[in-house]
Every structure is written in C-alpha cells, then in structure tokens.
Amino acid sequence: GDSAAGSGGNGGSDGTITMGFAQVGAESGWRTANTDSIKQSAEDAGVELQFSDAQQKQENQISAIRTYIQQKVDVIAFSPVVETGWDAVLQEAKAAGIPVILTDRAVDVQDDSLYVTFLGSDFVEEGQKAGQWLVDNAAEADADGDGDVNVVELQGTTGAAPAIDRKEGFEEVIADDDTISISQSQTGDFTRDGGKQVMEAFLQNEPEGIDVVYAHNDDMGLGAIEAIEAAGLTPGEDIKIITVDAVKDGMQALADGKINFIVECNPLLGPQLMELAEKVVAGEEVESRVVTEETTFTQEQAAEALPDRQY
Ligand code: GYE
C-alpha cells in the first residue's frame, strides 16, 4: 500500500480504505446511535469497516486495536472507554505506521503525536451548561423550600472523559451559588440499570431533601425516574432532573415533564469521521481537534424538536 503513514494497508492503492473501529460498548441510547452512524457512513463512503464492541472494558479495546495493527488496516479509530492507559498500544500503532483517530472521547497520553486528531464534544462545556441551568433555576429547583438546593449526581463510567469533564464543568459553575451543593455522587456506568440502582441507594440514604438529580447521560436519568416513581415521588416536580445527550427517550421524558433540562451531545459522528479518515490516509493535513456543535433543550423545546428527532 501507499498510504501516507507508510503502512502495509491498501488505502490509496485500490482506493479502498480499511478502518478498524474499537467501540466502547452498547451501554446507552447515545452509543447505539453513534454505532449506527459510524456503520452507515462507512458504507456510504465505501470504507471497509472492521468493528468491535468492547463491552465497556479497556482490555477488550486494547486487544481489538492490536488485532487491527496485525491486520494492517489503513486507519484505526476508537472511542476510548477511559482516559488513561493507552500509551503502549498507541506506540505500537505508531511503530506500525497506522494513523489513529480518536472519536467521541479523549485520551490522556504523554505524547500527543500518538494520534492524529480528536473528533468529539466539549464535555466540560456540557457540564457547564447543565450547571448554568441549575444556577438560573435554583429557586424553583429547591422543591422543599428549605433554602438549600440539594443535588445528587449520577456519574458516567469511572475514568471516562465525559464523566470526568461533565463533573468538572458542572461543579465549576455551581460553585458560584452557595445555595447549591452536591450531597451524593456515584457512578451509574452510563446505563439505565446503573442509574436506577444508584438512585435507589441515594433515596434510601436521604428519603427526604433531594431536590435535583444531575445525571451524566439520559439513560441514567431514565433509570433514576423509575427509582423516584417507585419511591412515591414525582420526577420533574418533587425532584428536578438534568441530563446530557438528548436521545429520543430522554427527549420524550423531557417533553412529558419528567426531566427538566437536557444538554445535547451529538452522537452522529460518522460522516465527519469518514471525511477525516479519507484525508488522513491520503496524507492531507487535518485539524488536531474537531469539536461538534451542540445545543440544549427545555421541556417546551423538546416537545417541539421530538417529531424530527432521528435518534
Ligand atoms: O454521553 C453516554 C455514553 O462518550 C459522549 O457515552 C459519550 C457518552 C454519552 O454512554 O450516553
């Protein structure tokens, strides 16, 4: 092959690019939409896709990437389940001359030349938007009117970029308002079941006085709704709920009044990923960071957006 990276891949020789994609898992509605987008855009772009699902385990992703290196794919793309622990395998890819594109989640590595570019959201900004809504609606969020806005937090997968950054952005903004504080914070692993179980425990620890749930994704928020209803409380009223993603089920719950605010995180990264891959394999320069554009939704906005929502 004559790919820019000088690998044994065939990108450029017969025009077909082979991409190895190591996906996080199938933990959420966001992830399903992301996987569909990647598969569909690979097909549309004529990219031959090798796809693996790591079931939220880093060791599975590492071995998938090693397989792609052995297969001499033209480009490796992956969404790292956690931020750290990638140096060795990325050095192996580099030594094999295979370019790496990060999608969705970032890595924390010493050497930034271990990947070509990172395509995905700004998760700190998402956390800030969630925090800003709460600061702006603090009086209303204090459902029991005791003057304290008591927040419980459902964190994403421990060590994952969106969990770390969404927590950081949110905390930074609510720090400006000393009526708001987080009383309990735990991981629900970005799953509906995880969100439900952790919320049950939160409610047991504090049967009264929880004003707000901040969930790092819709699925955990939807799980929390089940726990809140099972405890005889009304989600969206007795306890306000803020989530991130804006997948269909989340938007429906928002329009139904069970969630109060959603920060959008766009999973449709496939088309941009294929475009970047084609450029990278052709040896063209690409930006080292490509940030996706996103908005936020109130209950009224969700009701309006729902009919046209694709995922
Ligand atoms: O918000 C969550 C998923 O990495 C942005 O992972 C992604 C997150 C998304 O499980 O639903």
Instruction: Read off the pLDDT of residues 189-212 as tens digits, 9 standing for 90 and up.
Output: 999 999 999 999 999 999 999 999
Query: Using a 6 Å cutoff on CB, does residue 165 contact ligand 1?
Result: no
Q: Whose CA is nearest to atom 8 of ligand 1?
A: 162
Residues 227 and 235: beta-carbon distance below 8 Å = no
Query: Using a 6 Å cutoff on CB, does residue 222 contact ligand 1?
Result: no
**pLDDT for 13:** 58
How does residue 12 score in pLDDT terms, banded at 50, 70 and 90? low
Give residue for tokens 């729902």.
306
Beta pairing class for 100-103 and 261-264: unpaired
Q: Give per-residue pLDDT as tens, 114-127.
A: 999 999 999 999 99
**Residue 31 C-alpha to ligand 1 middle, in angstroms?**
6
Residues whose CB is less than 8 angstroms from the CB of residue 196 and which lie 6 or more positions away in sequence, other chains included: 188, 223, 224, 226, 227
**pLDDT for 11:** 61
Give residue for tokens 């092959």.
1
**pLDDT for 143:** 85
**Residue 72 C-alpha to ligand 1 middle, in angstroms?**
29
Query: Chain-wide mean pLDDT for the chain?
Result: 95
**pLDDT for 7:** 44
Q: Which atom of ligand 1 is nearest to the CA of 121?
A: 5
Mean pLDDT of 70-90: 98
Mean pLDDT of 295-301: 97
Closest among 169, 159, 256, 262 to 220, alpha carbons compared:
262
pTM: 0.95
Q: Which atom of ligand 1 is nearest to the CA of 190?
A: 10
Task: Give Cα 194 distance to the centre of its chain.
Answer: 16
Rounded distance between C-alpha atoms, residue 134 and residue 130, angstroms = 7
Query: Using a 6 Å cutoff on CB, does residue 244 contact ligand 1?
Result: yes
The CB-based long-range contact list for 89-97 (8 Å cut-off, 24+ gap) reads 89/62, 89/65, 90/114, 90/115, 92/65, 92/66, 93/65, 93/69, 96/7, 96/69, 96/72, 97/3, 97/5, 97/6, 97/7
Rounded distance between C-alpha atoms, residue 225 and residue 196, angstroms = 8
Q: Is the pLDDT of residue 23 over 50?
A: yes
**Residue 156 C-alpha to ligand 1 middle, in angstroms?**
8
